[in-house]
Amino acid sequence: MTRFDRTLTAVASAVLVLAGVATPGLAAEPPQSTDDGLQLQTRTKTRLVYVKPGATLAPYRRVHILDCYVEFEPDWQKDYNRSATGLQRRVTDQDVERMKQGLAGECRKVFAKELQEKGGYEVVGAAAPDVLVLRPALVNVEVAAPDLMAPGIGATIVRSAGQMTLYLELWDAASSTLLARVVDAKADSDGFAQRADRVTNTQAADRILRGWASELREHLDAATGQAK
């Protein structure tokens, strides 16, 4: 499926353009149609949904989840380090890479669990006919207080763990046809002051990811007649 083989640079460029349009307060007007034949179906302050005319999710009872691409907000590391006191509190490139890998893993785990355990959709290891391919990315990621696992760092109290934007493409595996593209920006809104560490940051990310995964599962349920 050669259309799945675009470079990460091309994916990142498309993600950031659309994610920027979906950012609250941005005045940019999204296009009504895209070069790959999708039509704008939904637009809110934080969400864009593009769909291929006539596309349906009804045939799919199996899904294949591609590796999740993760990218932080362009200036997040620099801005965070500018306000950090002491070298131990600075976010290194290695820290960023570790957080990217962790978030990518959480994305796959949460979507697979929601679709398989709650929806009954078989999650398969490779694309095949009758399989819906999910191509996720998490961009514009911001973490309010990353857990740097350095000794001597005291507790940080936050009300929101951060925010991120989902960029999700849905593909028909048999024909390599792009069916839909979703861009949705969300922030952690737990609202309670709490200590920020790896556990609470992961919990916050999972809350957001479960919301997205649940919405996708509900759309699949409605299309396949599984909705209760």
Q: Distance between alpha carbon 100 and the CA centroid of its chain, in Å?
A: 12
Cα four-point dihedral sign 204, 15, 176, 66 = negative
Q: What is the DSSP string of 16-47?
A: HHHHHHTSTT--PPPPSB-TTS-EEEEE-SSE
The per-residue pLDDT string of the chain (228 residues; one tens digit each, 9 = 90 and over) reads 434 344 344 445 455 555 454 444 444 678 888 888 999 998 888 888 999 999 999 999 999 999 999 999 888 888 878 877 666 678 889 989 998 999 999 999 999 999 999 999 999 998 888 899 999 999 889 887 776 665 455 556 444 568 889 999 999 999 999 999 999 988 887 555 555 566 778 888 899 999 999 999 999 999 988 765
| pLDDT at residue 158, rounded to an integer | 44
- Position 162 scores a pLDDT of 82
What total number of domains does the chain contain?
1
Residue 192 domain-assigned (yes or no): yes
Residue 38 maps to a domain: yes
For residue 161, give its domain range. Answer: 2-223
Cβ neighbours, 10 Å, residue 57: 17
Question: What's the pLDDT at 146?
Answer: 77
Query: Is there a domain that residue 18 lies in?
Result: yes
Continuous segment of H or E residues that includes residue 137 = strand 131-143
All residues at 6 or more sequence positions from 48 whose CB lies less than 8 Å from its CB, including other chains = 18, 21, 22, 30, 40, 42, 181, 182, 183, 184
Task: Look at residue 2 in the predicted model and tell me its pLDDT.
Answer: 38
Per the domain annotation, does 164 fall within a domain? yes
C-alpha angle 18-49-26 in degrees, rounded to nearest 5: 40
Amino acid at residue number 211: G
Position 140 in a domain: yes
Q: Read off the tokens for 101.
A: 């890998």
In a domain, 204, yes or no: yes
End-to-end CA, the chain:
35
pLDDT score recorded for residue 135: 94
Decide if 228 is inside a domain: no
